[in-house]
Structure 1
Amino acid sequence: MPLPMSPLDSMFLLGESREHPMHVGGVEIFQLPEGADTYDMRAMLDRALADGDGIVTPRLAKRAHRSFSTLGQWSWETVHDIDLGHHIRHDALPAPGGEAELMALCSRLHGSLLDRSRPLWEMHLIEGLSDGRFAVYTKIHHAVADGVTAMKMLRSALSENSEDRDVPAPWQPRGPRPQRTPSKAFSLSGLAGSTFRAARDTVGEVAGLVPALAGTVSRAFRDQGGPLALSAPKTPFNVPITGARQFAAQSWPLERLRLVAKLSDTTINDVVLAMSSGALRSYLEDQNALPAEPLIAMVPVSLKSQREASNGNNIGVLMCNLGTHLPDPADRLDTIRTSMREGKEAYETMSATQILAMSALGAAPIGASMLFGHNSRVRPPFNLIISNVPGPSSPLYWNGARLDAIYPLSVPVDGQGLNITCTSNDDIISFGVTGCRSAVPDLKSIPARLGHELRALERAVGI
């Protein structure tokens, strides 16, 4: 029986089209264990396919479904006999098998739609890398998992023990296999009841949101950091997009960013934003398209107050002034630090529910552009999303193969044709830059620009 789908998940399905694929992805690059070769790698995957019996982790067994029984609304339907041969695929890079060939393949794979008649995910084993390593590209529909959840899913399939040879495949459930029990039926009355309870519990929160909203709008008018931005300058990547994607990636030792943050009294996330700011400034200058006003980035952040510590981390979004109008990298970093600090201060007086509501308001233009298209006659509320997803500091392995890097791929949408996401593992930070091929034609130059900006920041703090 169908299970209800949240309105947010439904939005990612409703907003999807050939020009707007709505999946997130990740590229993992592995070093084979000593003495192993690509034949061992293929045999390892073939064994996992043969032993799986078509059973996958519950999240990956869901298929999007709508019919008369769901009154035309999207819902989830559990698939019990999954054709792993469709979801798990082999790819080989053409010669010479370098980074350019890997990025080109991932760009092409990321631009194609997932099959809605099946669970919304794919995994591609990629061989032919010139240095003897292999890669795994995974894509999951945003209705199934957001970028952070997808990264956690990929990491959960790995082990910290290099000698462990019984690690389940990424699609397989951990522990005992799930029982095939009947699903809870979709119930309009049950959905209505849960909606009423949620509304009842949040009436007080909404009342408290009014003064918070007034303060937030006031901060936006004064160009201070917060969850809202009234407008951002137009750039070449704030345009309607096509379905063709372009992807590029690069990694650096996390210690380099950590040292810049320490010497400048900033955070690693501030340094990530400053690297992005410098790269964007350089890119737009070369395109003769650098605005006189600073670019604005929407930044997902983890916020935790002592008052709500028992509830774990609260996730919100902030609008960050990237200072791209400033020629000095130190000035850009200082502008970013101030903007992020002011934004977090704006959240300190809000509850978790109010933070969520305010963040939803700030992110609302994304949903509007997904459903109704980009209005080129108005200025964008922000220019791009920049995310940083911290990961484990210890090495990770899959059946002895060491994870060297994990590069995230995100979802460009109309009006937001460029996205920068980074994640870390084993004290390495990896940037993934995803964009619309027509909106960001020279996207492959951005990783080199990020590296140049990191060196500029190191010089600015005296390294």
Structure 2
Amino acid sequence: MADDNLTPLDAGFLEAEDSDPHASLTIGAIAIIAGPPPNQIEFLESVAQRLSMLPHARQRVRTLPLDLGSPTWEDDPLFDIGHHIRRVALPHPGEADALFGFVGRVMGHRLDRDRPLWECWVIEGLANDRWAVLAKMHHCMADGIAGARLFEALCDEATSDSVDTGAPHAEQESRGRLSRTRAVLSSPSEQLDLVAAAFEVPRRVAVKGLDTARGFARLVSEIFTPASPTSLIGPIGKQRRYRAARISMSETREICDAYGVTVNDVALAAITSGFRHILLKRGERPRPHTVRTLVPVSVRPARGGGTTHNEMSLMLPYLPVDVADNVQQLMTVHRRLATHKAGKESEGGHAFTTLAQYGPFMAIAWAVRLATRLPQHSVVTIATNVPGPKRILHVMGREILEINPCVPIALRLRIGIAILSYRDNVSFGITGDFDTTPDITDFADAIERAAANLLSAARRVETEAALRAQQGKPAS
């Protein structure tokens, strides 16, 4: 699909926003930066120099009447960078509550569809001689991973290949395949192996296609199976609350090593504990089928290529909020994600969105619009994990101390969580509906407590294993 066209998945975020008058489907990141902020003119000039690296930064979305074709990107003839770069100062003393309150208000406001769908806020007056940048863009422009790359393009370390189309990698891979093919054709034994492999290909394709179809069927079944009713799901308003929870990446890897799990497993286990905590505090019983979460799965090339289009699928696991012990929560999350991966649900979802690109856009758009206007009772939350930059980043020579992600909520989801790693930190950016999640701070605190409990348990496991090794006893 041409780069100036929105894919069906990209356009789906516009359709979903149109279907929910209380939704603002924008993704964002808030960077906390050391030192005094630059003046507005300096910052405007710095961003203006980098706009060429940001696809669609000077373009707006153009739609066709009656959805006769997919929306496209077109240059904004009245583009004014001053409309997109804004500045505000927090009231003294500039504590986290004031910053998070401002982030919630900004993320709740919709972007102007008549202009390029992004904006950037410089926030002065943070405590301890700090300032912040809040970058926000519509989800139709990019998914979380592409959004992280675009954010990096605003930093001093950015290069012209910050947003990689993957072409050089594809060319190198093509040359490698050609040289391997020549080597195969020059060897008789390799020729026989090649013939045998050729007869195996149809069987593998058929098996993969069947597995993908089954995965898609499972996904559809889960979408239409309602979760247990709780206060976590229901109508939402226009206003948002925002909070951040933070844990150490090095400590998270200690947990991973002790229990043989992934960073994503640990993050989802901590979120599980957060949901269990607020359910109990609200006087509600956490049941096995209470919290089904939408877990986006990136289908981007492993080497980092691809476009800024949304390239993702999803899984829909239940979080084990009925389990009290943090370690048992972790192991249950690990098993469930393994089961969902083995069930090929993400492959099924990806196959569907890929095929949708070749269908008539009108039918797809109307189907999405109908589906998003029906009250959904299946998905309770979204938890998206985006790998962030490992190196230290700077903005105009000033060091970025931390980055907290922002994820939108819509369609009766009252809480959404974005997870982003930066340096040795893992940040949980929590977006909540203002009216129905007054306990969002308790939720964030519970995430940090759960991670601390898992770390303590992991270190006990490591200590016990070391003692057994000294005594010559086998590991349990």
What interval of TM-score do these two structures reach, taking the shorter chain for normalisation? 0.7 to 0.9
Corresponding residue for 1:296?
292
Q: 1:268 to 1:86 in 2, by over 3 A?
A: same
Of 12-21 and 275-284, more deviation after overlay is shown by: 12-21
Q: In the TM superposition, what is the alpha-carbon distance from 1:293 to its structure 2 partner? A: 2.1
SS in 2 for 1:247: strand
Corresponding residue for 2:379?
382
Q: Show the 5 A alignment for 1:30-429.
A: 30-32=33-35, 37-38=36-37, 40-42=38-40, 44-48=42-46, 52=49, 57-67=54-64, 71=68, 74-79=71-76, 82-160=79-157, 209-210=209-210, 212-214=212-214, 230-294=225-289, 295-302=291-298, 315-347=312-344, 354=348, 356-357=350-351, 372-375=372-375, 380-429=377-426
On the 8 A contact 2:226/2:378 being kept in 1, the answer is yes
On the 8 A contact 2:407/2:431 being kept in 1, the answer is yes
Q: 1:77 to 1:329 in 2, by over 3 A?
A: same
On the 8 A contact 1:229/1:319 being kept in 2, the answer is no
Q: In the TM superposition, what is the alpha-carbon distance from 1:208 to its structure 2 partner? A: 5.7
Amino acid paired to 1:234? P
Q: In the TM superposition, what is the alpha-carbon distance from 1:407 to its structure 2 partner? A: 1.0
Matches of 1:336 and 1:78 in 2, distance apart?
A: 46
Amino acid paired to 1:27? I
Corresponding residue for 2:16?
15
Q: 1:326 to 1:70 in 2, by over 3 A?
A: closer
Amino acid paired to 2:350? L
Deviations 1:44-75 (A, max 9, x none): 314436x6598673321220123569858633
Q: In the TM superposition, what is the alpha-carbon distance from 1:422 to its structure 2 partner? A: 0.8
Q: Which has the larger radius of gyration?
A: 2
Q: 1:12 to 1:155 in 2, by over 3 A?
A: same
On the 8 A contact 2:59/2:74 being kept in 1, the answer is yes
| Number of positions where the alignment pairs a residue of Structure 1 with one of Structure 2 | 401
Unmatched tracts of structure 1, length 5 or more: 161-166, 176-203, 222-226
Deviations 1:326-353 (A, max 9, x none): 1111111111111111222223xx9x96
Q: 1:373 to 1:67 in 2, by over 3 A?
A: closer
Matches of 1:53 and 1:387 in 2, distance apart?
A: 27
**Alignment identity in percent?**
25
Matches of 2:352 and 2:286 in 1, distance apart?
A: 28
On the 8 A contact 2:215/2:348 being kept in 1, the answer is no
Matches of 2:103 and 2:370 in 1, distance apart?
A: 23
SS in 2 for 1:430: strand
On the 8 A contact 1:301/1:315 being kept in 2, the answer is yes
Deviations 1:298-331 (A, max 9, x none): 2223579xxx979989954222232110111111
On the 8 A contact 1:103/1:248 being kept in 2, the answer is yes
On the 8 A contact 1:31/1:402 being kept in 2, the answer is yes
SS in 1 for 2:343: helix
On the 8 A contact 1:257/1:268 being kept in 2, the answer is yes
Matches of 2:257 and 2:61 in 1, distance apart?
A: 47
Amino acid paired to 2:9? L
Corresponding residue for 2:197?
none
Amino acid paired to 1:15? A
On the 8 A contact 2:320/2:333 being kept in 1, the answer is yes
Amino acid paired to 1:125? V
Q: In the TM superposition, what is the alpha-carbon distance from 1:269 to its structure 2 partner? A: 0.8
Amino acid paired to 1:48? S
Q: 1:130 to 1:316 in 2, by over 3 A?
A: same
On the 8 A contact 1:303/1:315 being kept in 2, the answer is yes
Alignment partner of 2:431 out of 434, 439, 463:
434
SS in 2 for 1:4: coil
SS in 1 for 2:140: coil
Q: In the TM superposition, what is the alpha-carbon distance from 1:218 to its structure 2 partner? A: 6.9
On the 8 A contact 1:93/1:129 being kept in 2, the answer is yes
Corresponding residue for 1:181?
none
Of 59-68 and 69-78, more deviation after overlay is shown by: 69-78
Q: 1:370 to 1:136 in 2, by over 3 A?
A: farther
Matches of 1:12 and 1:372 in 2, distance apart?
A: 10
Matches of 1:354 and 1:209 in 2, distance apart?
A: 9
Corresponding residue for 2:474?
none
Deviations 1:81-113 (A, max 9, x none): 520111000111012211000001111111111
